[in-house]
Amino acid sequence: AGETFRSRNIALATNPQIASQLTADIEPEVSARLKTIGLFESEAMTVIVDKDRLTLQKVAGIIPVSDEFLSAVSRDAAEHPRLRGFTFHFYKGQKTETEKLRLIRTVLNIDEKDILETAAKLHVLPSPRLEHTDIIEQVEALRRQKHTFFLGNYYYGLSLEDCIHRSADECARYRAANRASV
């Protein structure tokens, strides 16, 4: 606040809401479009359990038949000689930590003493809608500054690979825009 920075290029690798705020003065039309991409907040609870305490076979993930939780992923793909880990995803603000752990114990069929370690984290992810399926074309059509670069996992999809793909594309654009000075 109160400081001014000047640069020939600016690259933004952040969620669409923050990118919108940061570019309101330099790319107002792109900023307005990015602002329409909502965010989804979820809470994650990870538990570590001694594998001998579990009867559940190896799984990649768990999709519930109810809306008690969003999903769960296991760490079974990265096998440990003695431990297994699971991360359960919940709607933000709908369950207390005690309620989450009780549900996790029920799903995994374990006792409270079987949980060796826990960790909790808040996740904030872009939540593009149908109107955003061609967001790249929209951004390109609205962009006025050739030295402004937008990165993120909401251009091609939400995976890490999608984010890498977008980064590679913007890197190529950066090189082309700066060819004379590089």
Report the amino acid identity of residue 151: L
Which residue's entry shows tokens 């809608």?
129
Q: Which helix (H) or strand (E) holds 73?
A: strand 71-74
**Within a domain: 117:** yes
**Within a domain: 4:** no
List pLDDT tens digits, range 46-59. Answer: 999 999 999 999 99
CATH of the domain at 71: 3.90.660.20
Instruction: Concatenate the DSSP letters of all residues of 129-164 into one string.
Output: -GGGTTHHHHHHHH---TTEEEE-TTSS-SSHHHHH
Q: How far apart are CA 104 and CA 85, in angstroms?
A: 12
Same domain assignment for residues 165 and 144: yes
What value does the mean pLDDT take over residues 155-164?
A: 82
Nearest 5°: phi and psi at 41? Answer: -105, 130
**Within a domain: 2:** no
Same domain assignment for residues 51 and 95: yes
Angle at 8 between CA 17 and CA 174, to 5 degrees: 75
**Within a domain: 111:** yes
What value does the mean pLDDT take over residues 114-119?
A: 98
pTM of the model: 0.75
What value does the mean pLDDT take over residues 120-142?
A: 92
Same domain assignment for residues 118 and 147: no
List pLDDT tens digits, range 69-99. Answer: 999 999 999 999 999 999 999 999 999 999 9
CB 41 within 8 Å of CB 124? yes
Radius of gyration of the chain (CA): 21
Three-state SS at 124: strand
**Within a domain: 105:** yes
Which residue's entry shows tokens 């700066």?
178
Same domain assignment for residues 84 and 113: yes
- Domain count along the chain: 2
* Domain range enclosing 85: 40-125
Give the residue from 125, 140, 169 where a domain finishes.
125
Task: Give the torsion through C-alpha atoms of 14, 15, 16, 17, to 10 deg.
Answer: -110
Distances (CA, A) of 4 to 29, 91, 136, 164: 22, 39, 29, 30
Token couple for 87: 């991360």
Q: How far apart are CA 67 and CA 23, in angstroms?
A: 37
Report the amino acid identity of residue 113: K
Three-state SS at 14: coil
pLDDT in the model for residue 83: 98
**Within a domain: 182:** no
Same domain assignment for residues 121 and 44: yes
Same domain assignment for residues 44 and 33: no
**Within a domain: 65:** yes
